[in-house]
Amino acid sequence: MSRRAGSALSRAGFLRLFQFKPVDGVIEAYTYSPWLDEFEEDADSRFTIEVDFFERFGPELADFDADGDVDLADAATLTVCLSGPDVPAAPGCEPADLDCDGDADLADAARLHRRFSPGGA
């Protein structure tokens, strides 16, 4: 919650809301007052932050067996789950969708490859 000291809206209880959109590679920020039931629309109140979610959080996402590295065991998990572009990932294979586009395909394999450490390092 933010307070606008010295403003006519200083008691309006504005909240900063964030919507995470991994597929689009963005975080959208909104400023809303439940007291007034309205959003603010100026550039400081509504904005977008570009984020490559995989690059930022990738190693943990691609380490399917949670052993601290991305290795052959993780590659095997992804291989079993490959469905192809625009073919929904099978039940239980959702973690293999590393680019968050609804499928497990070669784009996901490329993301795993970038984090691959065959020696377990």
Q: Is 101 exposed, middle or buried (0-12, 13-18, 19+ CB in 10 A)?
A: middle
| pLDDT in the model for residue 58 | 60
% pLDDT > 90, the chain: 45
Kindly report the average pLDDT of the chain as a whole number. 84
Q: What is the DSSP string of 41-108?
A: -STTTSEEEE--HHHHHHHHHH-TT-SSS--HHHHHHHHHH---TTSBPPTT-GGG-TTSSSB-SHHH
Query: Which are the contacts of 27, defined by CB distance < 8 A and separation ≥ 6?
Result: 18, 19, 20, 21, 48, 49, 51
Residue 9 has pLDDT above 70, yes or no: no
Q: State how far the Cα of 40 lies from the Cα of 80, in Å rounded to an integer.
A: 47
41-93: per-residue pLDDT in tens? 999 999 999 988 777 776 577 888 888 888 999 999 999 999 989 999 899 88
SS3 111: helix
Cα–Cα distance for residue pair 63/4, rounded to 1 Å: 44
Q: Please report the pLDDT score of residue 68 as a whole number.
A: 84
Q: Please report the pLDDT score of residue 6 as a whole number.
A: 53
